[in-house]
Amino acid sequence: MTAPENKKFSWTDRQIGRIIGHLLWAGVLTAALMVLAGGMVYLAKYGRTAASYKAFRGEPAQLRSVGGIVRDAVSRRGKGLIELGLLLLISTPVARVAFSILAFALQRDLLYVLVTIFVLSVLAFSLSGGHF
């Protein structure tokens, strides 16, 4: 009997590309369905209300934070669902970059891991409004 082979986990570039493609597709589709559902809920409640353009009214305070958006979406409010869908859309490329770090690490490609960590850091910094 021979000793068992030490099998390393490895993905080919093609497999990684396919997984990233599915990740992006699922993220965009989920975001679109969330925005669509939110739009339907919003229109069901406010669809017959006349719009007033005399004064600008920004988003309510509860929709200016991720926690507030999630609370509104869980409560099945239209604006909260729409905002959550937009957050999902924004987070899709961020998830792609995070997955790329994992994939490059599994391939033991240190240079790409470091470059991708830098890209993720820049994304996080810009999404935080330039504040850490």
Which of 99, 84, 89 is closest to 29 using CA atoms? 89
Cα–Cα distance, 43 to 53 (Å, whole number):
18
- pLDDT, tens digit, for every residue of 102-131? 999 988 889 999 999 999 999 999 988 877
Contacts 24+ apart (CB under 8 A), 99-107: 99/19, 99/20, 99/23, 100/16, 100/20, 103/11, 103/16, 103/19, 103/20, 106/9, 106/10, 106/11, 107/10, 107/11
pTM of the model: 0.79
DSSP character at residue 2: P
Residue 130, SS3 per DSSP: coil
User: Which residues are CB-neighbours of 47 under 8 A, at least 6 positions away?
Assistant: none
pLDDT band per the 50, 70, 90 thresholds, residue 9: low
